Amino acid sequence: MVVVKLDKELCCSYQSCMSECPEVFGTDDIGVVRLLMTEIPENYREKVELAASVCPQGVITIERA
Ligand code: SF4
């Protein structure tokens, strides 16, 4: 399992992450990106890594739990 973190202060809400992994990255009521889960099961790990790689702000971090 991995743990994903998102620095909302630096997020620009382009939503590239949501395109790559909508199971983990969603939006709140006003369209700001938020994490739908932080402890990521193995079957979503590759998609989360791809989401992190396409984030233009580099604000998604992934750590092994
Ligand atoms: S790709 Fe990065 S900057 Fe864009 S919405 Fe997602 S976390 Fe925010």
CB 51 within 8 A of CB 20: yes
CB 20 within 8 A of CB 56: no
Q: How confident is the model at residue 38 (pLDDT cuts 50, 70, 90)?
A: very high
Pocket of ligand 1 (CB under 6 A): 6, 11-17, 33, 55-57, 59-60
**Proportion of the chain above pLDDT 90, given as a percent:** 94
Protein residue with least CA distance to atom 2, ligand 1:
55
Listed in sequence order, the DSSP H helices in 1-65 are: 16-20, 42-54
φ, ψ (nearest 5 deg) of residue 44: -105, -5
For residue 46, the CA-to-ligand 1 centroid distance in Å is 17
Res. 65: pLDDT tops 90:
no
pLDDT tens, position by position, 6-22:
999 999 999 999 999 99
Partners of residue 60 on adjacent β-strands: 6
**Entry field: residues in the chain:** 65
Q: What element of type H or E holds 18? A: helix 16-20
| 31-52 average pLDDT score | 96
Domains along the chain with CATH numbers: 2-64 (3.30.70.20)
For residue 22, the CA-to-ligand 1 centroid distance in Å is 12
